[in-house]
Amino acid sequence: MLRENKNTAIYGVSQVIGGAQVDEGRVVARFAARVNGLGPLSQASPALQARLLEEVKTVARRVDGSTEAGSASGYDRRVLYEAPGHWSLAAIILRPGQQTHPHDHGGWGCAATVQGVERDRRFVHDASGNLVLSGERDYPPGTGYVFDAADVHQPVGADPRRVTVALHFLVQENHAEGS
């Protein structure tokens, strides 16, 4: 059962995917109920992180990103679910060539591509403290990745012909676990 409170938000609309009516909000709510049933996530094992990536991929297969246009002024973010102080699930929308600034999240998370291609650039700090590109990998629809709290990364819309939409699941570690 979904544990809702005044600080929990679920967003979603009914959509048609492959000719079938799918309620994005219901899919996200089922995902949220499963995640909320796991308890505290900040110290999740690598196995649990991998399991949650697979769950996010399952949700990504049920989200229709074809109506997302993105923003001409920079990447866009559409929150699908947020449990403040605990975790969130959001659609990151990148037009071809758009990118976020390199950043970390202060908590672990994962991402799964809905449509287009998300290029995940990873950075490390050099001896002078400057960010240096250490690698990049492209993630087409149905694929994804996990990142640790200290990982510095930069999602990029790498599909030259269409908007890239990816679901990003973020665990916030800066809260008291019992709250």
Question: Tell me: the pLDDT tens digits for 34-60?
Answer: 999 888 898 899 999 999 999 999 999
Q: Would you place residue 66 in the very low, low, confident or very high pLDDT band (cuts 50, 70, 90)?
A: confident
How distant is the alpha carbon of residue 169 from its chain centre? 4
147/22: higher pLDDT: 147
pLDDT, residue 22, reads 54
pLDDT above 50 (res 11): no
Architecture of the domain made up of 9-171: Sandwich (2.60)
Q: Rounded CA gap, 133 and 126, in Å?
A: 10
Q: Rounded CA gap, 89 and 78, in Å?
A: 9
9-10 vs 14-17, strand pairing mode: unpaired
In sequence order, what DSSP letters do the residues of 13-78 get, joined into one string? Answer: -EEEETTEEEEHHHHHHHHHHHHHTT---TT--HHHHHHHHHHHHHHHHT---TT---BTTB-EEE
pLDDT above 80 (res 12): no
pLDDT above 80 (res 144): yes
pLDDT above 60 (res 1): no
Q: Rounded CA gap, 80 and 91, in Å?
A: 7
pLDDT, residue 75, reads 87
Instruction: List the structure tokens of 99.
Output: 């990118």
Coil, strand or helix: which one is 150? coil
Q: What mean pLDDT comes out for the span 96-120? A: 94
Among 4-13, 35-44, 106-115, the range of highest mean pLDDT: 106-115
Q: What mean pLDDT comes out for the span 67-76? A: 85
pLDDT, residue 171, reads 95
Q: What mean pLDDT comes out for the span 2-13? A: 32
pLDDT, residue 39, reads 83
Q: What mean pLDDT comes out for the span 89-93? A: 95
pLDDT above 70 (res 20): no
